[in-house]
Structure 1
């Protein structure tokens, strides 16, 4: 009979996500992971299968949180322009405040572009972000806040792409006025 786990898997996953987010996959050796998680390598393998398995679960946790946060903000958007401006600026300024950390999704994309499971998680998350934005834009159209000539799907695809560019500019230490100007210009697509 297998022994019950002597550690909190959820807490270990949270700590691993933070470590991968800060250092990246390649720069996080297994001994560093096990020390940060407070578990032995056998426990890591038993719980997550491998370092790769742990990374995949940590990335999924981040992505699920990212989409849930966006849904929470967009589901109650009464003014699409104000809400999008707030969301976009918050994302950009978070990266500016901690540019070495940046966005785990962007980091994963650039570091692990040759790893199919990572690429699929990124693709799936981008599709979910697009879906959330499409829904918000469709609701805005029904309220009359968005012209009928504009495609909510095309606008959502543009905004999804723009968000990733904002993350990259945040990592590049763009200043606040640059980011505010970029957001203002991007939101003109809604006019």
Structure 2
């Protein structure tokens, strides 16, 4: 007779995500995961695979939640530019928040730590950025169609600029103790929308 799982895989995945997010991939060992999740090593491997597979599953969970929120925020009917400004300002606020900035963004952390040498992580980071860029682009196209964005502005170039700014805010915010640095950069970049 097969044994039933004595833990909630969904809760365990969320807990693993939080540990990876806080500590990073390399600094988190399987022993750390076993201890943090309170799950036996064999059960962990049987449910999630090895540490790398668990990390990728945690990344996918993080990505779904983040992209769902941004798509929802940028897809609301009505004026588009206020929604874009709100998302960028939220990124700046989170990047300068004392508690949030320590962990940073799991996508940005993965881009810096794993993507240069891990093709599976690199593909996930690119997928995330492609999705974010296309969402920003669609919102900027809508803004131009609604007369909010001057017709001489290139929505794709602006979407790419905002993507790089938003990811940069996460990197600089994680390492800098000066919140004005990220907030000033965000406001200066948002001025491109005027």
Match of 1:44 in 2: 44
Partner of 1:103: 105
Aligned residue runs from structure 1 range 5-84, under 5 A:
5-76=5-76, 78-84=78-84
Among 137, 140, 143, the residue aligned to 1:137: 140
Residue of structure 1 aligned with 2:182, choices 151, 154, 179: 179
How far residue 35 of structure 1 moved from its aligned partner, in angstroms, is: 1.4
User: How far off is 1:153 after superposition?
Assistant: 1.7
Q: Which runs of 5+ in 1 are unaligned?
A: none
Q: Does 1:125 align with 2:142?
A: no
State the Cα distance separating 1:174 from its structure 2 match: 4.8
Q: Any idea what the Cα deviations from partners look like across 1:98-128, whole Å, max 9, x if unmatched? A: 3321111111111112111111100000000
**Normalization by structure 2: what TM-score?**
0.91
Aligned CA distance change for structure 1 residues 175 and 85 (closer, same or farther; 3 Å): farther
Q: Taking structure 1 as the reference length, what is the TM-score of the superposition?
A: 0.93
Report the Cα offset of residue 161 of structure 1: 0.9
Specify which of 142, 151, 154 is matched with residue 151 of structure 1. 154
CA distance in 2 between counterparts of 1:2 and 1:120 reads 36
The CA distance in 1 between the partners of 2:88 and 2:66, in whole Å, is 13
Q: CA RMSD in A?
A: 1.6
Does the 8 Å CA contact 2:93/2:183 hold for their aligned counterparts? no
CA distance in 1, matches of 2:36, 2:106: 18
The whole-number CA distance in structure 1 between the counterparts of 2:41 and 2:172 is 37
Q: Which runs of 5+ in 2 are unaligned?
A: none
